[in-house]
C-alpha cells in the first residue's frame, strides 16, 4: 500500500470498511490523530520512506464520517490554518540583468529547504505572480532562481491532478494503475520569472536546469523519483517556454477544477502540457505506447464499408448510441447522394427513420454541426500531419431555400431582380488541401447566426481556427490560409500578426492607397520590369451567367503564359484602426495572350509569406489556383448532393444535414483526385470487394481496360457515369463521378443480394 495518493487511500479504506469501522468503534476514547495512526498501521498505509500516510488517512476518515459510514469522535482542538510565511518587506528588485541569459552572473537554482528561503519564495509569489501564493497538496518541491543580480524567479511542484482526461488518455493507464502510481506524476504548479526581468530565453533555460535535477531531489526527500511532469497554461498564453524545453501539448482541460463534480464547468479551459523525466516510464509503469500525434495517410480507410466509422465514429454527442446513429446517417447519405434518403438501395427503412429522428431531433441533446464534424476534423488534422505544405482554403456560399422560405430561422441571403428577399443559409467552410490539390478534409463548417453579420469576423474566426489546428502539426509543416477577394480587408492581415503557425494568401480586390507620395497598390504592383515568365496551369472554367448577363466567360483547361512581378509593400491601417501598418509580399501575375473569347487573367496576390524570387512567386500563383477546390466542393454540394432540395423545417436540422453532405462531397472529390495523382495505389483503398468484382465484370462486358489499380478503377466508375474516355478528353469531372459511383453501388448491392440468395438456395450438406 506504499506511496498511495489520497484517492487511493480513500478507496483502500472503503474496501476495508468493516475492519476500519471496528477499529474506530473499539477506540472511541482516542483522538482523531491516534485513530488515524491505528488505521495506518492496520492497513499498512506508508510512503516510500516508511512513514505513515497520516494526513491522507485522516482526510479519508473525515470523508467516511461525512457519508455516515463511520462515527469519529469530535475534534479536541479546533483546526487553525495559518497564512503563508512572508517577509516583512518586498523582495529587492533585480539590478542590471543582461538581455542574454549567457551573460547572467552566478545563475543558480536553489532548492527551498529552510524557513528563510521559504519566506522569500512565498513573498515573490504573493506580490508578483498572477495567482499569488497557495498551499500545495501532496509531495512538493520548491526552487528559487538566484543570481548576482538578485532573485529572478521561482518554480514550484506539487501533487498532480486526480483526474485529467487529456493526460490520462496520453498515459493510457488503467484506473488501478493511476491510483497506484499517480505519485509518479508531479504538477508544475507555480512558475514565475519576475516581470521586471527582461532576459531572452531565461525561462526555458532555468526551467530546463530545474527539470534535470528534480528526480534526484525528489529521491532524496521522498525516496522515489517522478516520471512525468504536468502543467497547465492559461488561454491567453501559448506555453512557448514549455515547448522550448520539450513539453508536449496534450489537449485542453474540461474546466472543472480539482474537486468539482462531473459536468460542471467552473473555470476557463487551459492547455495541458507534459514532460517526460524518464524516457522509459511506459515500460516502468507497464502501460502501452500511445501516439500523441497520430498520422493518417491520404486515402486510407475511405472504402465504402469503413469511411463513415473512420470520419464520424466517436463523435462527442453525449451517448454512444447517438454516435453510432451518426455513422449510419453518413453511410446513408453516401449511398443516396443527389437523391432522397428514402431511395436507399437496400431498403433499410430503419436507417431512414433513424436518419430523420437524428437530423430533426430537438436541440436538447446539443447535437451541433461542430460536434458532428469533430471526429472528421481530427482525421483531417491527422492527414495534415503527413504533408510538408497544407493549404487551408476558406470560402463561403449561399444555399438558397427560396421555394420553402417559410422555414424557421432562414436569413435573407440576397435579393432577386424584383428586390424580394431570397432566404437560405450562408455556409463558410474551410477545406484543407496538400500542395498537389488533394483534399485532406473539412476543418470547419460555420453557419451565419443572423442576418447582417459581418463577414470579416467569419474570415478571422476561420483563420484562428486554422492556426489552432496548425499548433499540433510538425513544425516543418507550412500552413497557408488561402482566401479570395472577399477577404481583402486590413483587419485580416492585422489578425495574422497575432498567429504563430499560419500565413495568409489573399487576392487583392481594393486598389488601396499606400500612403502619401506613393502609387496606389495596383499601379505599384504593375510597375517595373517583370521578374520573369511562367506557364501556369489553369483548370477549365465554365461560363457563368445571371439574368441574361455574362458575369464570367468560360475557358478550356490549359496553360496560361504569364509575366510575373513580386515586391514588398506596406499596407496602411484603415481609418479608425489602432493597428499599425502591415508589411506583406505582393505577387502580380498577368496573362500575355489569353485564348480567343476568354478573359485575360490578372491577379494581384498579397501574402505574409516572404517572396523574393521568381520561383517563389510562381509557387504562390500555383497555390492560389488550388483555391478553386473550395468552389468545386460547393458545386458538388449543390449540384451533386442537391442540398437545396432538403425538406427539413428547422434551420438547425438543415445545418446538421448540410454538414454531413459537406464531408460526403469531400470524400467524392478525394476519390476523383486520387485517381489522377496517385495512379499506382491499390484499388482496395477506396472500393470494397463487391465493388471491385462489379468493376471487373463491367470492364469485361464492355471490352474496357482491366482494373489494375486505383486510377483504372476510378476511370471505370467515371465510364459508368457517362465518361467517354476519348484520347484527348480531360479527366472526369465530379458530376460524372457521383453518377458513376451511384451506379456502382447499386451493382454491388445487387451482387451481394444475389450471393446471399444463392447461398440460401443451396442444399445443406
CATH class (in words) of the domain with range 390-540+554-638: alpha beta
Percentage above 90 pLDDT, the chain: 39
- pLDDT tens-digit profile of 98-110? 988 889 999 999 9
- Quick one: pLDDT at residue 303? 84
**pLDDT surpassing 80 at residue 218:** yes
DSSP 562-603: EEEEEEEEEEPPPTT--SPPEEEEEEEEEESSPPTTSPPPEE
**pLDDT surpassing 90 at residue 261:** no
Instruction: Please report which confidence band the pLDDT of residue 4 belongs to, taking 50, 70 and 90 as the band edges.
Output: very low
- pLDDT tens-digit profile of 645-661? 888 888 888 999 999 99
Instruction: Please report which confidence band the pLDDT of residue 1 belongs to, taking 50, 70 and 90 as the band edges.
Output: very low
- Quick one: pLDDT at residue 764? 61
Average pLDDT (251-258) is: 74
Instruction: Please report which confidence band the pLDDT of residue 324 belongs to, taking 50, 70 and 90 as the band edges.
Output: very high
Query: Residue 394 in 3-state DSSP?
Result: strand
- Cα dihedral: 525, 526, 532, 534 (round 10): 90
Classify residue 263 as exposed, middle or buried by CB count within 10 Å of its CB (0-12, 13-18, 19+).
exposed
**pLDDT surpassing 70 at residue 307:** yes
- Quick one: pLDDT at residue 60? 87
Query: Which residues make beta-bridge pairs with 159?
Result: 186
Handedness of CA 318, 324, 325, 327 (dihedral sign): positive
Residues 6+ apart with CB under 8 A from 112: 118, 121, 142, 143, 144
- Quick one: pLDDT at residue 54? 85
Instruction: Please report which confidence band the pLDDT of residue 3 belongs to, taking 50, 70 and 90 as the band edges.
Output: very low
**pLDDT surpassing 90 at residue 137:** no
- pLDDT tens-digit profile of 234-249? 888 888 899 889 898 8
Average pLDDT (299-315) is: 89
Q: What are the CA-CA distances from residue 361 to residues 356, 373, 652 (Å)?
A: 8, 17, 9
Higher-confidence residue: 292 or 239? 239
CA 116 to chain centre: 46
- Quick one: pLDDT at residue 696? 92
Higher-confidence residue: 451 or 174? 174
Average pLDDT (396-410) is: 74
- Quick one: pLDDT at residue 162? 84
- pLDDT tens-digit profile of 11-65? 888 888 999 999 988 888 888 888 899 999 888 888 777 788 888 888 889 889 9
* Architecture of the domain delimited by 679-761: Orthogonal Bundle (1.10)
Average pLDDT of the chain is: 85
Least confident window among 45-49, 333-337, 601-605: 45-49
- pLDDT tens-digit profile of 498-530? 888 899 999 999 998 888 778 899 999 998 899
CA 128 to chain centre: 34
**pLDDT surpassing 90 at residue 539:** no
* DSSP single-letter state for residue 171: H
Percentage above 70 pLDDT, the chain: 90
Q: Which of 474, 505, 483, 481 is nearest to 388 (CA)?
A: 474
Instruction: Please report which confidence band the pLDDT of residue 277 belongs to, taking 50, 70 and 90 as the band edges.
Output: very high
State the Cα–Cα distance between residues 710 and 727, nearest whole angstrom: 20
**pLDDT surpassing 80 at residue 605:** yes
CATH class (in words) of the domain with range 101-285: alpha beta
**pLDDT surpassing 70 at residue 310:** yes
Question: To which H or E segment does residue 256 belong?
Answer: none
Higher-confidence residue: 293 or 703? 703
Residues 6+ apart with CB under 8 A from 257: 266, 267
- Quick one: pLDDT at residue 371? 92
Amino acid at each position: 500500500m506504499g506511496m498511495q495518493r489520497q484517492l487511493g487511500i480513500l478507496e483502500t479504506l472503503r474496501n476495508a470498511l468493516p475492519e476500519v469501522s471496528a477499529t474506530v468503534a473499539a477506540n472511541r476514547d482516542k483522538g482523531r490523530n491516534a485513530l488515524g495512526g491505528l488505521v495506518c498501521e492496520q492497513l499498512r498505509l506508508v510512503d516510500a520512506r516508511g512513514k505513515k500516510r497520516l494526513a491522507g488517512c485522516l482526510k479519508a476518515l473525515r470523508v467516511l464520517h461525512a457519508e455516515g459510514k463511520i462515527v469519529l469522535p469530535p475534534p479536541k482542538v479546533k483546526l487553525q490554518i495559518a497564512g503563508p510565511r512572508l517577509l516583512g518587506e518586498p523582495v529587492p528588485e533585480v539590478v542590471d540583468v543582461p538581455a542574454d541569459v549567457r551573460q547572467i552572473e552566478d545563475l543558480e537554482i536553489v532548492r527551498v529547504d529552510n524557513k528563510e528561503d521559504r519566506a522569500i519564495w512565498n513573498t515573490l509569489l504573493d506580490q508578483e505572480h498572477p495567482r499569488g501564493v497557495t498551499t500545495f497538496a501532496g509531495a512538493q518541491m520548491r526552487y528559487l532562481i538566484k543570481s548576482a543580480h538578485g532573485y529572478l524567479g521561482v518554480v514550484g511542484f506539487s501533487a498532480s491532478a486526480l483526474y485529467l482526461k487529456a493526460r490520462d488518455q496520453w498515459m493510457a493507464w488503467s484506473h488501478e494503475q493511476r491510483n497506484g502510481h499517480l505519485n509518479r506524476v508531479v504538477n508544475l504548479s507555480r512558475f514565475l520569472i519576475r516581470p521586471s526581468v527582461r532576459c531572452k530565453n531565461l525561462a526555458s533555460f532555468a526551467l530546463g536546469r530545474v527539470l534535470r535535477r528534480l528526480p534526484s531531489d525528489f529521491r532524496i526527500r521522498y525516496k522515489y523519483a517522478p516520471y512525468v511532469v504536468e502543467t497547465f497554461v492559461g488561454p491567453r498564453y501559448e506555453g512557448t517556454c514549455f515547448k522550448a524545453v520539450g513539453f508536449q501539448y496534450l489537449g485542453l482541460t474540461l474546466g472543472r477544477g480539482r474537486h468539482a463534480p462531473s459536468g460542471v464547468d467552473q473555470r476557463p479551459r487551459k492547455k495541458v502540457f507534459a514532460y517526460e523525466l524518464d524516457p522509459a516510464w511506459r515500460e516502468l509503469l507497464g502501460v502501452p505506447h500511445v501516439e500523441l500525434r497520430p498520422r493518417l495517410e491520404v486515402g486510407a480507410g475511405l472504402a465504402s464499408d469503413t469511411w463513415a466509422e473512420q470520419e464520424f465514429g466517436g463523435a462527442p454527442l453525449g451517448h454512444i448510441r447517438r454516435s453510432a446513429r451518426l455513422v449510419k446517417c453518413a453511410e446513408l447519405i453516401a449511398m443516396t447522394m443527389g437523391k432522397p434518403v428514402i431511395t436507399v438501395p437496400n431498403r433499410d427503412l430503419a436507417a431512414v427513420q433513424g436518419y430523420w429522428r437524428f437530423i430533426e431531433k430537438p436541440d436538447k441533446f446539443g447535437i451541433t454541426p461542430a460536434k458532428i464534424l469533430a471526429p472528421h476534423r481530427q482525421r483531417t488534422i491527422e492527414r495534415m500531419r503527413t504533408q510538408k505544405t497544407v493549404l487551408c482554403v476558406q470560402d463561403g456560399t449561399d444555399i438558397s431555400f427560396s421555394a420553402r422560405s417559410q422555414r424557421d430561422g432562414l436569413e435573407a441571403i440576397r435579393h432577386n431582380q424584383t428586390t424580394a428577399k431570397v432566404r437560405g443559409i450562408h455556409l463558410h467552410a474551410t477545406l484543407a488541401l496538400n500542395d498537389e490539390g488533394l483534399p485532406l478534409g473539412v476543418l470547419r463548417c460555420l453557419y451565419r447566426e443572423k442576418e447582417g453579420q459581418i463577414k470579416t469576423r467569419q474570415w478571422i474566426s476561420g483563420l484562428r481556427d486554422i492556426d489552432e489546428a496548425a499548433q499540433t502539426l510538425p513544425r516543418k509543416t507550412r500552413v497557408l490560409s488561402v482566401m479570395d477577394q472577399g477577404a481583402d480587408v486590413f483587419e485580416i492581415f492585422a489578425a495574422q500578426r497575432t498567429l504563430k503557425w499560419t500565413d495568409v494568401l489573399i487576392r487583392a480586390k481594393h486598389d488601396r492607397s499606400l500612403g502619401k507620395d506613393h502609387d496606389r497598390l495596383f499601379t505599384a504592383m504593375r510597375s517595373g520590369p517583370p521578374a520573369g515568365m511562367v506557364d501556369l496551369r489553369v483548370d477549365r472554367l465554365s461560363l457563368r451567367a445571371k439574368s441574361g448577363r455574362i458575369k464570367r466567360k468560360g475557358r478550356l483547361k490549359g496553360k496560361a503564359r504569364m509575366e510575373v512581378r513580386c515586391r514588398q509593400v506596406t499596407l496602411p491601417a484603415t481609418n479608425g484602426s489602432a493597428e499599425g501598418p502591415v508589411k506583406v509580399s505582393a505577387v502580380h501575375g498577368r496573362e500575355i495572350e489569353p485564348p480567343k473569347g476568354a478573359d485575360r487573367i490578372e491577379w494581384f496576390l498579397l501574402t505574409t509569406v516572404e517572396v523574393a524570387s521568381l520561383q517563389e512567386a510562381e509557387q504562390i500563383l500555383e497555390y492560389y489556383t488550388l483555391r478553386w477546390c473550395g468552389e468545386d466542393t460547393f458545386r458538388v454540394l449543390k449540384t451533386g448532393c442537391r442540398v437545396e432540395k432538403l425538406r427539413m423545417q428547422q434551420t438547425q436540422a438543415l445545418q446538421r444535414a448540410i454538414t454531413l453532405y459537406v464531408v460526403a462531397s469531400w470524400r467524392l472529390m478525394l476519390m476523383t483526385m486520387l485517381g489522377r495523382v496517385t495512379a499506382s495505389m491499390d484499388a482496395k483503398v477506396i472500393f470494397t470487394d463487391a465493388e471491385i468484382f462489379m468493376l471487373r465484370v463491367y470492364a469485361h462486358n464492355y471490352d474496357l481496360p482491366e482494373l489494375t489499380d486505383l486510377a483504372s478503377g476510378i476511370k471505370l466508375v467515371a465510364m459508368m457515369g457517362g465518361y467517354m474516355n476519348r484520347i484527348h478528353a480531360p479527366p472526369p469531372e465530379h458530376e460524372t463521378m457521383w453518377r458513376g459511383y451511384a451506379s456502382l453501388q447499386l451493382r454491388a448491392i445487387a451482387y451481394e443480394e444475389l450471393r446471399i440468395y444463392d447461398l440460401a438456395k443451396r442444399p445443406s450438406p
